Amino acid sequence: MNNEKKRKKWESRYVIDDITSKESWRLFRILAEFVDGFEVLSEIPTAVTIFGSARAKPEDHFYQFTEKLARELVKREFSVITGGGPGIMEAANRGASEGGGVSVGLNIELPREQKPNDYANVKVSFRYFFCRKVMFMKYSIAYIVLPGGFGTLDELFEAITLIQTDKIKPFPVILVGQEYWKGLFDWISEKLYANEMISSEDLDIVTIEDDIEKIIKKITTVRNIVA
């Protein structure tokens, strides 16, 4: 296969969207994504964002846990925000919408895997991850993070970093799945903290909690403070 054919094959698989001086028009699309997100999300009630694997199935424990959690959140008049896709995102949107609440899906355009689920009753679509991440941060008073892969870890650690560096006001970052997360946070304590890469206060940014009522109580307490 010659180089030209290899290049075309590569471009057909991946989203090519380099911003150069000749493509500055893309900045208007970026601006439009921010405007759309601000206009839609500024109208929703106080929101909680739920992250987790796109690959979870309806029969999985964490799918069912998430669906129940979302139902309980909308009973307390929270909106539920997700990335709008399948798996844990679908479970959260499903629980929120079937519970009669505001169920927000911020979908990202990807060449594979991510397709909007049918349960978000408020939808905004994004091409750019960074625009989408701003919406999660701006309109959530808490993050609930269930087991997931690279995308979930990316969203988790960006929130931790922004809180650590005082770029955003601190808010609850709650991990669900004690056994799933234990090894990662043991490593953080044993390597990062032990080698003075982070402080003891940084260890307190994240809470691991598997009880729905305790999760909701923590988030409700925050809402009562900021209201």
Residue recorded with tokens 């609440």: 101
What does the alpha-carbon distance between residue 18 and residue 131 come to, in Å, rounded to a whole number?
Answer: 16
109 sits in which H/E element = none
Q: What is the pLDDT of residues 38-79, one digit of tens each?
A: 999 999 999 999 999 999 999 999 999 999 999 999 999 999
Contacts of 150 (CB under 8 A, 6+ apart): none
> Tell me, what's the pLDDT at 19?
56
Exposure of 19 in the CB half-sphere (CA atoms within 13 A): 8
pLDDT at residue 18 is higher than 60: no
Where along the chain do its domains lie?
19-226
Name the DSSP letter for residue 24. Answer: T
Residue 227: pLDDT over 90:
no
Hey, what amino acid is at 202?
A: D
**Which CATH number is associated with domain 19-226?**
3.40.50.450
Chain-centre distance of CA 214, in angstroms?
20
What's residue 225's pLDDT?
A: 77
Q: Tens of pLDDT along 158-194?
A: 999 999 999 999 999 999 999 999 999 999 999 999 9
Q: Are 174 and 222 in contact (CB under 8 A)?
A: no
